[in-house]
Amino acid sequence: MIARIAAILFIYVCSCVGWVILGASVFQRSNEASTSLRENVASIWGRPQTQMAPTAFYRQLVNAPPQPDAAITASTDETADERARPRYETVPVALQQSRVNADLKLEYRRKGLVWFSTYRVDFHGTYRFENTSGEEREIHIRFQLPDGQGLYDGFSAKVNGREVGGEIANSTLSVRERVPAGAALELATGYRSQGLDSWTYSFGKGASRVNDFLLVMKTNFDDIDFPDSGLAPSARSKTGEGWELRWEYASLLSGLNAGMTMPAKLQPGELVGRITFFAPVSLMFFFFLMFILTLLKNIEIHPMNYFFLAASFFSFHLLLAYTADLIDIHLAFLISSAVSIFLVVSYLRLVVGMKFALREAGLLQFLYLVGFSYTFFLKGYSALCVTIASIVTLYIVMQLTGRIRWGELFESKRRFRAPAPPPPEGTAGRG
């Protein structure tokens, strides 16, 4: 009996080594694919987008103050008149009001074992600046697009309701408009674009003052999340297909931004790797219960039979690893489960009979291989499900074996397997 248990343990350890190798190869293949394909997807579809708030300024003519005598003597190439000549300084114009709308539509893209969270965005913004300088000014507006290599369909820019062309250089729209003293200048702009992973609205670099601000964001997905160090919405309401989120501030001074992190889809490569690394736990439960049941039912299963059972378990993860990147992960899981259970049941029906193979072995494999593995689809609940199943299993086994006298059982097995004594001397050959 001890030698039999040692042989089963040896088969179990060898199986664990195989799963470690397979799991490591799946993770490596998935990580390499993610790194190489991300840049490919970004170049085709777009990168994470950050839309900056527009800025405005005007140039004001001022006279330079006279320099000290020490500076004059140090700069012999310039005359005093040249040093005192008029110059222009840039005066920022405060953004008085912002009305921003962003409609985000999530559209997953898959490459090999990796899903990418791509999206489309329909952006519209209306901004109001005021000339509070006391005289007419030529105000310059700068509106920077999120990505210089991005695609912007239907781009438009209007100043006080009039379509303007402006100049676009380095992904920045530049507009100039003369504004009378005390008058307002309104910029309305919009576009349709696409990006990857996240969309962010930035108020500017560093801590910025935001006046009369409203951002309305709509999503077509339920699993909303916000970037690190980002502002949470001040209000939210459920819509038919997602959420409507509102960031509304009368006056705000903050260096944080508002935005949305796209929900990540279940990654086949990561999921298969985690299931593969967890396989030794499934096989441990299966071997343990098979050993207990065959002991209680007095069924003889040789360690070599355990080897083929372990190989059938391994076939589930091997098949899953190389079909998950070709077909839907749920379909690959279903096919791999069916193949593995078929191998176990069809094999044990030859070893111990169809009844035990289908009722005991098939049910145990379904619970501890298929059931345990499927808990990894339940994000955040896999560990709890496995813990509960382990406790229930322990309780059932303890109830089944509570009255067994293990010492007597092992001793009876040893006596049963003891070799027969040799025949008395001189009796060989008598018939």
Per-residue pLDDT tens for 106-129? Answer: 998 887 668 889 999 999 999 999
Task: Report yes or no: 408 and 302 within 8 Å, Cβ to Cβ.
Answer: no
Domain extents in the chain:
2-32+266-416, 46-261
- Show the tokens assigned to 399: 């109830």
> For residue 268, what pLDDT is reported?
84
Half-sphere exposure of 246 toward its Cβ, with a 13 Å CA cutoff?
10
pLDDT tens by residue, 190-242: 999 999 999 999 988 767 788 899 999 999 998 888 888 788 898 999 988 89
pLDDT category of residue 409 using cuts at 50, 70 and 90: low
The pLDDT of residue 421: 57
Task: Give dist(CA 210, CA 94) in Å, integer.
Answer: 9
How far apart, in whole angstroms, are the C-alpha atoms of residue 167 and residue 250?
32
Task: Kindly state the greatest CA–CA separation across the chain.
Answer: 140
pLDDT reading at 35 higher than 80: no
Q: What whole-number distance in Å separates Cα of residue 285 and Cα of residue 199?
A: 46
CATH of 46-261, one of 2.60.40, 2.40.128, 2.30.110, 2.60.120: 2.60.40
Length of the chain as a residue count:
431
Instruction: Please tell me the distance from the alpha carbon of residue 217 to that of residue 257, in angstroms, as a whole number.
Output: 14
Distance between CA atoms of 223 and 388, rounded to whole angstroms?
27
Which among 28, 116, 11, 13 is positioned nearest to 321, based on CA atoms?
A: 28
- To the nearest 10°, the Cα dihedral for 58, 175, 99, 131? 30
Is the whole model's pTM more than 0.75, yes or no?
A: no
Has residue 417 got a pLDDT over 70? Answer: no
pLDDT band at 69 (very low <50, low <70, confident <90, very high): low
Q: How far is CA 129 from CA 132, 155, 214, 290, in A?
A: 9, 21, 15, 77
Question: Got the DSSP string for 90-148?
Answer: EEEE-EEEEEEEEEEEEEEEEETTEEEEEEEEEEEEEEEEE--SSS-EEEEEEEE-S-T
* DSSP-derived secondary structure letter, 225: -
